[in-house]
Chain A
Amino acid sequence: MTYFGIKYIFIFLPIVIILYSLMSKKLKPIILLCASLGLIFYISKWLIIYVLLSFLSIYLAGLLLQKIDSKRDLICEGKEREERKKIKGKYKRYKKIILIITIIFNVSFLFYFKYLGFFAKIANRLFVIFKINLSFEIVKFIAPIGISYYTLKAISYIVDVYNEKISAEKNILKVCLYLTFFPSIMEGPIARYTDVKDRIYAGNKVTYNNLCFGYQRILFGMFKKYVIADRLNIFVKLAFQNYMLYSGVTSLVGAIFYTIMLYMEFSGTMDVVIGSAEIFDIILPENFRQPFFSKNISEFWSRWHITLGTWLKDYIFYPVSLSKPVKMLTNFNKKVFGHRFASIIMGGIALFFVWSLNGLWHGAGLTFLFFGYYHFALIFLGNIFEPIIAKICEILNINRQNKIYVFFRIIKTTILVFIGELFFRAPRLLYGFGMIKKIVTDFNVAAFKNEVFALGMDIKDFAIVALALIFILVISILKEKGKNIREDISKKPIYVRWTLYYALILAIIVFGAYGAGYLPVDPIYVDF
């Protein structure tokens, strides 16, 4: 079952809505929990046991951490500051042990299912290089659905309890629902407990407004997927698989189309996910904020897959930057080279960890690692050159807020994103380099004319994609300007609203790329 499939949108979701609506306020969250566990069991069968182990581990560890905090506070009462500090230090050590064990427990499942084969392969290669007579058997495991997402949620929960940012939840079912909530189990967003704790177990009614808003959002996601992403799929597949047969222009267009397809597929999925949750009055965090209006790569990543970016920032970037060894190095660098250089190095070390993990999180493969390090290099170099560029602009009297200057920055960022996504999609790292070489050395526009219609898209397909993208662009510009389009639509008279809804449904039916000659995009982010 996928979020875009008929089984989910027309059978599973409506049944859950009906059952949820029929139940009392108290039983409503139980329906959501049963639906969530049912969906996981339907897809992953008995692998659900690993999801339940994860949830139980954070639930119990959370309560234990809370108990330690209460005991510490009791002992600290009425003590002097110095003594309080000592007691806090002692209890912090106990808490740290629990935290580390819980994190290792959760990460070990992720490692086992997702990375064991990859590291075994690397080890086997090293054994060959160093002529060691050893080799690991490579076994590919089927992982429980959403393991990359719920593991990060589990870690965020337990770290937040450890840091006393949130209280440990006593209601076992609430923690279970937080981790397994069916709209977000397969592809995120990686919601924090604080994001959803007030509503996820509230059992609020399904109102007419929520139903309209939710399905409106789902329809918009379907439009992105069926009209745009699915139409580009065959072109992208052939352009990447057989790049050597075509000119560099096809590689370039393939990379651009893949980036558009990925954006439409993933952000479309998020529309379905967030829309589904909205029906039950549960607000999930947004994962995209018009990423193609970013002026640099750093900003791009604060607008693209936002919940992964903020997770890595909060649980990797800052803890690594402010860890004791990095702080010691920073203090040394500050004395010798000055504070700007010291903070660049401090941030650089943390960024290296962030992007290694970002690459690996997307998949166990060299293309993904390269994708991570490519972005690390761009952001790190950006940090180094930013003050120099600012100085040059000052000397040349260039206003950096000038619209033309901003436009060129956006274009530059978009090109860098296309290159990154080219490697991200490439079947192998060598294919990625091969395509870049083609683009640079064999950029034959004339040849493209012959190639363009040989890759599964006719003139009608190009026209529909172009029109649909203009539609998305207009909506993006309005959102960027702060307009709340959905609110605006909801204030329109009923005949205008329903004309718009029917137009969207009709657009999906008429212009959707399905049937013979088309290949639907598989849910890309499910595999990550």
Chain B
Amino acid sequence: MEKLIEILKELQPEVDYETCENLVDGRYLDSLTILSLISEIEDEFDVVIPTVEIIPANFNSAKKIWELIQRLEEE
């Protein structure tokens, strides 16, 4: 989780990732930032994020993103 927050802060520093729960709906993460994020996550956690998983519900908070990573690691 710490590593994920680190990545997020590097990409978009102006957000409090501990509390923010509308990263996509609140337009804190735009499409381009999400692409960068996916690329970083895939490198760091050795998972592949399929396009079908790129929905606001999976990216609206750091917690949700972390849950997605864990789910993909298990598959």
Identify which of A160, A318, A343 contacts B54 (C-beta below 8 A).
Answer: A318
Q: Determine whether A378 belongs to the interface, using a CB cutoff of 8 Å to chain B.
A: no
Bound complex: CA of A345 vs CA of B9, how far in Å? 21
A322 touches B38 (CB 8 A): yes
User: Nearest chain A CB to B15's CB is how many angstroms away?
Assistant: 14
* In the complex, residue of chain B having the shortest beta-carbon distance to the beta carbon of A163: B52
Q: Determine whether A62 belongs to the interface, using a CB cutoff of 8 Å to chain B.
A: no
Q: Determine whether B46 belongs to the interface, using a CB cutoff of 8 Å to chain A.
A: no
Contacts of A342 in B (CB 8 A): 36, 39
Quick one: which of B2-56 are within 8 Å of A by CB? 27, 30-33, 35-36, 38-40, 49-52, 54
Given contacts A343-B35, A383-B32, whether A322 and B51 have CB atoms under 8 Å apart is: yes
Identify which of A314, A331, A343, A344 contacts B51 (C-beta below 8 A).
Answer: A314
Bound complex: CA of A314 vs CA of B54, how far in Å? 8
Contacts of B35 in A (CB 8 A): 321-322, 343, 346-347
Contacts of B49 in A (CB 8 A): 322
A347 touches B40 (CB 8 A): no
B40 touches A339 (CB 8 A): yes
* In the complex, residue of chain B having the shortest beta-carbon distance to the beta carbon of A85: B75
Contacts of A344 in B (CB 8 A): 32
A318 touches B32 (CB 8 A): no
Please give the number of chain B residues whose Cβ is less than 8 angstroms from any Cβ of chain A in the complex.
15
Q: Determine whether A131 belongs to the interface, using a CB cutoff of 8 Å to chain B.
A: no
Identify which of B33, B39, B54 contacts A330 (C-beta below 8 A).
Answer: B39
* In the complex, residue of chain B having the shortest beta-carbon distance to the beta carbon of A354: B31
* In the complex, residue of chain A having the shortest beta-carbon distance to the beta carbon of B33: A343
Bound complex: CA of A146 vs CA of B27, how far in Å? 32
A316-348: CB near B (< 8 Å → 1, else 0) gives 011101100001001100100001101110110
Bound complex: CA of A330 vs CA of B27, how far in Å? 24
Bound complex: CA of A165 vs CA of B58, how far in Å? 13
Q: Determine whether A313 belongs to the interface, using a CB cutoff of 8 Å to chain B.
A: yes
Q: Determine whether A522 belongs to the interface, using a CB cutoff of 8 Å to chain B.
A: no
Contacts of A322 in B (CB 8 A): 35, 38, 49, 51
* In the complex, residue of chain A having the shortest beta-carbon distance to the beta carbon of B32: A347
Pick from A160, A321, A327, A342 the residue with the most CB of B within 10 Å: A321
B30 touches A343 (CB 8 A): no
Bound complex: CA of A321 vs CA of B36, how far in Å? 10
Q: Determine whether A298 belongs to the interface, using a CB cutoff of 8 Å to chain B.
A: yes
Pick from B31, B36, B38, B50 the residue with the most CB of A within 10 Å: B31
B31 touches A346 (CB 8 A): no
Q: Determine whether A164 belongs to the interface, using a CB cutoff of 8 Å to chain B.
A: yes
Given contacts A163-B50, A164-B52, A165-B52, whether A347 and B31 have CB atoms under 8 Å apart is: yes
B51 touches A319 (CB 8 A): yes
Give 10 A-B contacts (CB < 8 Å), ordered by A residue. A298-B30, A317-B31, A318-B54, A322-B38, A322-B49, A322-B51, A342-B39, A343-B32, A343-B36, A347-B35
A-B pairs with lowest CB-CB distance, top 8: A163-B52, A343-B36, A318-B51, A347-B32, A319-B51, A318-B54, A343-B35, A165-B52
